A = this chain, B = another copy of it.
Amino acid sequence: METVTLARIYLREGEHLLARLLDTLRDESVRGVTVLRGIAGFGADREIRTAALADLALDLPLVVEFYDNPERVTAILAHLEIQGGLAHIVSWPVTLHTPEADAR
């Protein structure tokens, strides 16, 4: 077991930042990335976006998650913040249970 940092970046589909972000995270060789797509959400503008109207082209929320060593996550997030455009990033420590943790 090992303590790693789980980072989560909130995007909106309409920002078209996902492809570049995934490339960056891959270039940084983070251990793994998962992208979740929300069905509804709203941000600072308080305008609710939802898939309820069955329009798949809507500007739905995306959640990009990855984890790595705390110091690597800090460095990667600093890099991403400098790139700009990434408005909402949170992170927290988690326990990594897999024996393959250092198989990178």
A residues sitting closer than 8 Å to B (CB atoms) are 4, 6, 8, 10, 18, 22, 26, 29, 31-44, 46, 48, 50, 61-63, 67, 77, 81, 86-100, 103-104
Inside 8 A of A67's CB, which chain B residues have their CB?
90
Would you call A32 and B42 a contact (CB within 8 A)? yes
Residues of B within 8 A of A77 (CB): 97
A81 to B74, CA, bound (A): 29
* Chain B minimum-CB-distance residue to A74: B97
Contact at A42–B26, with CB atoms within 8 Å?
A: yes
Provide the residues of chain B in CB contact with A29, threshold 8 Å: 46
**A13 to B5, alpha carbons, bound, how many Å?**
25
